[in-house]
Structure 1
Amino acid sequence: MNIVRLGPEALATLPADVLRPTYDRRGVTAGIVHLGAGAFHRAHQAVFIDDCIAAGDAGWGIVAASLRSPDTGDALKPQRGLYTVAERDGANEMLRVVGSVLDVLTASQAPDALLARMVDPRTRLVTLTITEKAYLRDANGDLDTAHPDILSDVATPGRPRTAHGFLVEALARRWKSGIAPFTVLSCDNLPANGRVLHRLLIEFARLRSVDLADYIEKDVACPSCMVDRIVPATTDADRARISARLGVADAWPLVTELFRQWVIEDHFPLGRPDWERFGVTMVDDVAPYETMKLRLLNGAHSAIAYLGLLCGKATVADAFADPSIQGFIQGLWTDLVPTLESADALGPEDYTRKLAARFANTALKHRTAQIANDGSQKLPQRIVAATLQRLAAGKVCGRLALVLAAWVEALGSSDVEGFTDPLDGRFRRESLSEMPPQAAVELVFDAAGIARGAAEKGHLIDMVACTLQQLRAEGVYALLLRLNNEDQGK
């Protein structure tokens, strides 16, 4: 049986309550190349760009590229890049077909095509959502120059495998051809993501040529930004429900919340979309917003994920509905807010009230195992930095220690489907649960490079090990009860 797929020809047949592109996509040119064509980009940046194009800013269409997997391209190419974003809040669901993605490439299959797009003078902006681990940093935060993909990209620059390789090769070709460099915008959850990426690109370029490294250091703009929207993994039930409402099949729709936020440092030598018309905040320094989000949203998300796994909670909403976990998160926010710069100006109380409503949204089936992934890359900026800050100030860190202990304990579980970490392969996960707490924490922290060089590292390890001992002896709910009762007694 032939199944009618979502595509340009199907737009006119969609139900009246489904939003869709009102512009002629044939008149849109690609001004953006995006590396990392995952769900978050398509539910966040691509939606903002869709708004810009609909308002007449037609020079900012997107060519999205997956660095490895062909899955996104296989799903969207037959649909000419069209896909549905379902915004859910409780029982309400609004569908919107997004048209800003003009093409989807798979870098591993078509590196020449991707490089050609990046070198094209019409490409003025390259954005990234490649996840923290794809930045390929060593334990000191520098470029992992021994990584086999980095070595391959230096040896064969015309056949890159990494984001670094594609960016530097494209910039080198533009430089040689007299084409001004595109702006590079990291949209990943890294502190000072633009500055980190700029430094890594310089380090990578220096492996090829000192002159190329100097050019990138001097002439390539890498503003930092902060992004925020919860985008759970799409399920087969989501596909079936959304396709039924559309009346045509969408191979990869997305489900997300109503909330979306993007804060960007305003440094774009070749111009940029007029996206502040649609809610983007342009600033001189993104750092205060970024730190608030990393600690209050992402830090709380990680806490919910690891505590939820230990308590048998499959989704964020399930975990946050548990009074013990919700009370813990409220206390965690109380501990984290004083670690923020310019906290009063950012309005953290209002921010955390909104976060609580977002976490409680039962319409979003955001799996705790999905959020728990890659903790060794995420927790240093989400939890560890704030913990070291509080330790140095002589503050109590019981809740922060429990988050880290819950992570180590969860790492020792080998039966959680879909829960992975870059540390996998460095040691046998099952061995962690067999080790004494002190040895387990030391092994994980050293393997992940956590708190390397920090004066409080020994204190941090001892504190987390003590908490892990209590967690194993008493159980997670006993520790949550104790911490929550301490708050009530203040």
Structure 2
Amino acid sequence: MKQSGSSDMALQSALAKSGILHIGIGAFHRAHQAVYTDAAMAAKGGDWHIIGVSLRSTDIVDALNAQDCAFTVIERHAQGPEAHRITSMSHAIAAARDVMPVLDALADPAIRIVTITVTEKAYGIDRQSGKIQNDHPAIRHDLENPDRPSGLLGILVAGLKSRKDAGIAPFTVVSCDNLPANGKLLRSGVTDFARQIDPALGDWISENVSFPSTMVDRITPASTAATYADAKALTGMDDPAAIETEPFSQWVIEDDFPNGRPAWEEGGAILVEDVDPYEGMKLRMLNGSHSLIAYVGQLGRYRYVRDAMANDNFASLVAQHMENSAATMPPLAGIDFAQYGAELTERFRNPEIAHETRQIAMDGTEKLPQRIFAPACDLPGDRERLGTFALCFAAWLAFVQKQIHPTEPGETSRLPDDPRAGEIKELLDIPQGAEGLYDRLANLPGWMPTQLHDNPHWRKAVISRLSTLLSHGADAAIADEIAQ
């Protein structure tokens, strides 16, 4: 499995000081886990540098390796930008070019932790059953080619198999994605994938590998020309890997690391026994509000979150949704939901953060179940509180139809950026009115919980708001909602 040449030398040099392999070295990882690890090593030391893996992109790998994997993080404060140089990454690998260096690193006992930030759709795990989706392209490929995997689960299982075969302790696997109970879901998917290749391997993983759940939070917009210009101005260096983010950052981690971990608490991470309550708060209040802003905002031509929050009616709508979301949760020790909502509002209003609603609006069929459907199911019998959840879903329905059947001059038809885009397009072969649009997309298989699907009040609430969106637009729907 070993490589040769200069790339092998670079990897071996990196392994000498690394303890973490991270899959998905996009902007969020570099603004979040890489920053915490940088702070941990600065405070407590340790051979915890990160070997970064990109599953698809090669450009970011080349950019990072060309500058010894150091990069700039620009924090957008209201009083101006602040630059931080992060040096916790030791080497980057483009798996799309050659997956073998990734497997070599995973087989090395130096790697004790594997962290992950990939899109929700990259997992290939069914949320309800926890089993793998055998028709997922990467899953299908990797089941047929377990020694040359290309997808997340195939790579993880190949790496764990090499550890088992060599008698080396397994690495801890840490999902840092916005998935409910991400550790439990990943454990289920990895073991199911392994059992389909080798039942004994699946059993070994189930018995020996730790999958702590986490909750992550930091708004990280896409880098722009302004990002690179500010990096140059503040550091004196050209940095094509520079990223920008907000000052706020949060990481809650279940403390289950049999082979050790960096002192992430030195960077402000919270280590707990159970992350679920914190995750629920964040998914429902922050991410759910983001989805509401994204879909209503896209319909109303609000390009950035800050633009939406600058509109008093829109800001009132978001505050109402946060209050409704808080009503779905039991009390959480040490947390004041009203104060948390006020902090979120301040973050959303930050004029220095250019967070595009279009970016947040991606992958709605993956995000809406935990952000909107789950809390709507948990409402305490108060139909009035159902309104903002119904509006968010209605806005998604109008949003995807508008992409397929544009209504403005100069707009062109396109598929929604969604893993179920093909199914959506087939169902929306012709433009639909509010009832037809709801009935077609609410019946996507295995998606909307039965509790909502069979609730006539939910259907009525969504269709009413969808009618307003289709006939009168986003601002009218916002005004109607806050007036109720």
TM-score with structure 2 length normalisation? 0.91
| CA displacement, residues 229-255 of structure 1 (integer Å, 9 cap, x when unaligned) | 110000122212322332221012111
Take 2:349 and 2:268, find their aligned partners in 1: how far apart are those partners? 24
| CA displacement, residues 5-36 of structure 1 (integer Å, 9 cap, x when unaligned) | xxxxxxxxxxxxxxxxxxxx989711000011
CA change 1:240–1:276 in 2 (3 A) is same
Q: Which stretch shows the higher mean deviation, 99-108 or 461-470?
A: 461-470
Take 2:137 and 2:293, find their aligned partners in 1: how far apart are those partners? 35
| CA displacement, residues 359-385 of structure 1 (integer Å, 9 cap, x when unaligned) | 001101111100111111011101111
Structure 2 residue aligned with 1:472, among 439, 457, 470? Answer: 470
Q: What amino acid maps onto 1:424 in structure 2?
A: A
SS in 2 for 1:400: helix
Residue correspondence of structure 1 range 430-469 to structure 2 within 5 A? 431=428, 434-447=431-444, 449-454=446-451, 456-459=453-456, 460-469=458-467
SS in 2 for 1:339: coil
SS in 2 for 1:206: helix
Structure 2 residue aligned with 1:297, among 286, 299, 308? Answer: 286
| Deviation of the 1:311 alpha carbon | 1.1
Matched-pair contact (CA < 8 Å) for 2:14–2:51:
no
| Deviation of the 1:396 alpha carbon | 3.8
Give 5+ residue unaligned stretches, structure 1: 1-24
SS in 1 for 2:20: strand
Matched-pair contact (CA < 8 Å) for 2:37–2:267:
no
| Deviation of the 1:343 alpha carbon | 4.2
SS in 2 for 1:181: coil
| Aligned match of 1:11 | none
1:71 and 2:59 aligned: yes
Q: What amino acid maps onto 1:451 in structure 2?
A: M
| Deviation of the 1:348 alpha carbon | 1.0
Take 2:466 and 2:380, find their aligned partners in 1: how far apart are those partners? 18
Matched-pair contact (CA < 8 Å) for 1:298–1:382:
yes
CA change 1:356–1:48 in 2 (3 A) is same
Take 1:374 and 1:245, find their aligned partners in 2: how far apart are those partners? 35
Matched-pair contact (CA < 8 Å) for 2:427–2:441:
no
Structure 2 residue aligned with 1:221, among 210, 227, 246? Answer: 210
Matched-pair contact (CA < 8 Å) for 1:307–1:325:
no
* % identical aligned pairs: 38
CA change 1:262–1:254 in 2 (3 A) is same
| CA displacement, residues 158-195 of structure 1 (integer Å, 9 cap, x when unaligned) | 11111100101100110010000100000000110000
| Aligned match of 1:16 | none
SS in 2 for 1:238: helix
| Aligned match of 1:330 | 319
Structure 2 residue aligned with 1:61, among 41, 49, 69? Answer: 49
Residue correspondence of structure 1 range 76-95 to structure 2 within 5 A? 76-95=64-83
Residue correspondence of structure 1 range 155-194 to structure 2 within 5 A? 155-194=144-183
CA change 1:179–1:139 in 2 (3 A) is closer
SS in 2 for 1:188: coil
| Aligned match of 1:481 | 479
CA change 1:236–1:53 in 2 (3 A) is same
Structure 1 residue aligned with 2:422, among 421, 425, 439? Answer: 425
| Deviation of the 1:106 alpha carbon | 1.0
Take 1:455 and 1:82, find their aligned partners in 2: how far apart are those partners? 48
Q: What amino acid maps onto 2:112 in structure 1?
A: R
Q: What amino acid maps onto 1:127 in structure 2?
A: T
Matched-pair contact (CA < 8 Å) for 1:412–1:430:
no
CA change 1:216–1:478 in 2 (3 A) is same
1:249 and 2:245 aligned: no
Give 5+ residue unaligned stretches, structure 2: 1-12, 404-410
| CA displacement, residues 112-147 of structure 1 (integer Å, 9 cap, x when unaligned) | 100111110010000000121111134745310122
Q: What RMSD in Å do the two structures reach over aligned CA positions?
A: 2.2
| Deviation of the 1:344 alpha carbon | 6.4
Matched-pair contact (CA < 8 Å) for 1:423–1:448:
no
1:352 and 2:341 aligned: yes
SS in 2 for 1:340: coil
Residue correspondence of structure 1 range 311-390 to structure 2 within 5 A? 311-343=300-332, 345-390=334-379
Matched-pair contact (CA < 8 Å) for 1:470–1:479:
yes
Take 1:231 and 1:429, find their aligned partners in 2: how far apart are those partners? 33
Matched-pair contact (CA < 8 Å) for 1:39–1:231:
yes
SS in 1 for 2:115: strand
CA change 1:450–1:436 in 2 (3 A) is same
| Aligned match of 1:107 | 95
Q: What amino acid maps onto 1:58 in structure 2?
A: G
| Aligned match of 1:7 | none
Take 1:271 and 1:386, find their aligned partners in 2: how far apart are those partners? 36
SS in 2 for 1:425: helix
| Aligned match of 1:31 | 19
SS in 2 for 1:428: helix
Take 1:469 and 1:251, find their aligned partners in 2: how far apart are those partners? 45
Q: What amino acid maps onto 1:426 in structure 2?
A: E
Take 2:416 and 2:236, find their aligned partners in 1: how far apart are those partners? 35
Q: What amino acid maps onto 1:230 in structure 2?
A: I
CA change 1:137–1:80 in 2 (3 A) is same
CA change 1:389–1:395 in 2 (3 A) is farther
SS in 2 for 1:272: coil
Matched-pair contact (CA < 8 Å) for 2:300–2:473:
no
| Aligned match of 1:137 | 125
Q: What amino acid maps onto 1:483 in structure 2?
A: E
| Aligned match of 2:113 | 125
Matched-pair contact (CA < 8 Å) for 2:216–2:251:
yes
CA change 1:281–1:420 in 2 (3 A) is same
1:152 and 2:150 aligned: no
TM-score with structure 1 length normalisation? 0.89
Matched-pair contact (CA < 8 Å) for 1:186–1:193:
yes
